[in-house]
Structure 1
Amino acid sequence: MKIYKKIMNALAAVEKIVLVISTLLILVLTVGNVFSRKVIHRSWSFTEELVVAVFVLITLLAAALACREGELVSLTLATDRLPKKLKKPSVILITVLSIIFSVILFKYGMDKVITQLQNGKRTFVLNWPEWIFWSFVPIGAGCMILHFIEFCLDFCCKTDSAKNTDNSTKSNMNTITTDKKEAK
C-alpha cells in the first residue's frame, strides 16, 4: 500500500506541475493576444486552438486532483447524514459509479484519438494533428480513475487523507450550522 501511495503522490505532483505550466501558458497566450490586438493591431489566430485544448486538459486534471481529495466523489449533504455503517458502502457505490463514468469518458476519448490518427485530421490554424489535443480527454479520464480508486482505498482503510477529508467535512458542517444559528 505504501508503494501505491508513493506512485499516486508522484502522479499528483506531475499533475500539479502540468496544471501550473498549462495555466501559465493560457495566461501568456491570452494576455499576449490581447496586447497584440490592441497595440500591434494583429491577432494571434493560433491562440484560440491552443487555449481551448489546454483548458480541457486543465479541467480534467483539476477534476482528477479533486477526486483524490474526495471532493468529486460524493455530495456530502447526503452522505454525512447516513449512519456510520452505511458510509463505507455509499462511498464504494459512488466510487464504482464514478469509475464507470470515467471509463466511458476514457473509451470515447480513445475512440476519438484513434479515429483522428487514422484519418490524419489536422487543426485549422496550427496544422497540428488533432489527436494530440484529443489525447487530453483519455489522459484526464485515466487520472480520474486512478484517483477515484485511491480515495476509495484511503476511505475504506482510513488513512490520513481520508481522515482529513472526514474532519474537514465535519468542520464545514459545524461552521454552516453555527452560521445558521447566528443568522437567526
Structure 2
Amino acid sequence: MDADSWDRRYAETELVWSAEPNRFVADELGDLPPGTAVDLAAGEGRNALWLAGLGWRVTAVDFSAVALDKGRRIARARDLDVTWVRADLADYQPAPADLVLIAYLHVPPALWQRVLRAAVGAVAPGGTLLLVGHDATNLTEGTGGPQDLERLWSVDDIVPALDGLTVERAEWVRRPVGGRDAIDTLVRARRPA
C-alpha cells in the first residue's frame, strides 16, 4: 500500500490501532531509562506517545499525513512532546538514537532490507533496537496480518543483518487476537557502549 492508501485507511476510523502501546513494546522497553527514540512507521503514534509519556524524546516517522495528524492531536490532548516527521522510509535516514523501534512494518524485501540497515545504523552506542512484526509462521499457524509471505518476518532473516549489535532476544511470540493467536517475530538488540 502507498501513502494515499494508508491515508484513506486512517481516515476511515477514529483509530486504526489501539491508543495503547503494543504489548511487546511496553514489556520490552518499560524499564529502559529515557533518552532519544525514533519510531519508524509510527502510524498514529501509539508507541511514540507511550514512550513520550515515559520521558523519552521521540521522533515518530510515517508517510501517512492523516496518521501523523491524529498522533499530533493525541499528543496535544495529553500534553506530550513528540516530533512528527512525514517521510518515506525508502529515503529516510534516522539520526542516531538511544532507541530505534520498528513495529509491524511489512514492506517488500528490498525496501525492508534498506529500512533495517538504516535502523541498525541509527542505534547509538549503548542504545537498543526493538523490532516487532508478523512472523512468517503466522501465515499458516496464526491469524491476521499480511497474507504475503515475502512481507512477513523471521528471526533467521533479521538477526544476520544486525551488524555491530548484540542480540538480547530473538524469537517468535504469540499474541491473542479474538479466539486465536497471532505469531510475531520479536528481536531486541543492543549496541555496545
TM over 0.5: no
Q: Which has the higher contact order (CA 8 A, sep 6+)?
A: 1
Normalized per residue, the structure richer in helix is: 1
Q: TM-score, normalised by structure 2?
A: 0.23
